[in-house]
Amino acid sequence: MGDCPKNRPKLKGNSGTEVVADRGYERRMTTPTPDIPPVRVLIVEDETIIAMDIQRKIKQMGCDVVGRVVSGEQAVEQALTLRPDVVLMDIKLRGKIDGITAAKKIRQNDDIPVIFLSAFLAHESVRKEGAALSIAMLPKPFEPFELRDAMSRILSSRPPIESPINAIKTI
């Protein structure tokens, strides 16, 4: 029968959640609310495999990936053009500007929240500069629940008209 989600045993959980048996553990998935648009995410990552993995995790959470770019310059341009709900930004990027500089430029022009995803968060200078610009910082690799929690914190702090927080699935 394959390993497709539709072929896995499903159980009804509490409060509208569906529990899916998945290789020895359960995943809880909430059904998105139809009248709330999905969270729009811009991914800024210069490593293709990592960017694809992040995109997969984002889509599993029920969010829309509005763009995927590899440089700081592209990040600024696309963030200001596409106006995502949140930007997931690596710190070390291709191009002339890094993720921290790109986040500064985005935040100067718009109030788009930035979550830094980086293997370099242990460096003191990165933590200080990054903390001043972003609302969350996650080390790579990260677990989907860490990203979901960070996005939930960011989006729940925005005004209700702008906050698509209820559209994020629990995976």
Kindly report, residue by residue over 118-157, the tens digit of the pLDDT.
Answer: 876 655 555 566 556 556 788 888 888 888 888 888 877 7
C-alpha gyration radius of the chain = 17
- Residue-wise pLDDT for 53-76, tens only, equals 999 999 988 899 999 999 999 999
Q: Which residue has the higher pLDDT, 92 or 9?
A: 92
How far apart (Å, rounded) are the C-alpha atoms in residues 142 and 162? 26
Q: What per-residue confidence (pLDDT) applies to 13? A: 38
Three-class SS state of 86: strand
Using CA atoms, how far apart are residues 43 and 65, in angstroms rounded to an integer?
Answer: 7
- Helix axis angle, 72-82 relative to 99-109, nearest 10°? 30
Compute the average pLDDT of residues 103-130. Answer: 77
pLDDT of 112 higher than 80: yes
* Domain spans in the chain, listed from the N-terminal domain onward: 1-31, 35-164
CATH 3.40.50.2300 fits 35-164, yes or no: yes
Instruction: Tell me the two tokens of residue 67.
Output: 């763009």
**Is the pLDDT assigned to residue 83 strictly greater than 50?**
yes
pTM of the model: 0.70
pLDDT for the residue numbered 127? 56
Torsions phi, psi of 94, nearest 5? -70, 160
Residue-wise pLDDT for 10-64, tens only, equals 333 333 444 444 444 444 444 444 445 789 999 999 999 999 999 999 998 889 9
- Does residue 126 or residue 84 have the better pLDDT? 84
Say whether the peptide bond before residue 159 is cis (omega within 30 degrees of 0).
Answer: no
Rounded distance, CA 143 to CA 27, Å? Answer: 13
